[in-house]
Amino acid sequence: MGKFIHLRSDKFVILPGEDDEIVNEGMYGKALAEYLQRELTELGYNVPFICAEDWGWWVEL
């Protein structure tokens, strides 16, 4: 498997309904993905969508 980032933070909690969106158990991260989408957009990046994928969350750039 390639490189990955594993974060633990009280800032990025499991969001209501996120269990219904994830593909594999424990692959949370929607709050972080939404944060990255918002912050990157403010910096001028085009971030058209985020979505749950097999092993985490996809932040499209």
pLDDT in tens, 6-26: 778 899 999 999 999 998 998
Secondary structure percentages of the chain, helix, strand, coil, to 5 = 25, 15, 60
Check residues 5 and 36 and name the one with the higher pLDDT. 36
In this prediction, residue 1 carries a pLDDT of 57
**Do 60 and 48 contact (CB within 8 A), yes or no?**
yes
| Distances, alpha carbon 30 to alpha carbons 3, 5, 61, in Å | 19, 14, 16
| Beta-carbon count within 10 A of 34 CB | 15
* pLDDT tier at 30, thresholds 50, 70, 90: very high
* pLDDT tier at 3, thresholds 50, 70, 90: confident
pTM, two decimals, is 0.85
Nearest-angstrom CA–CA distance, 47 and 27: 21
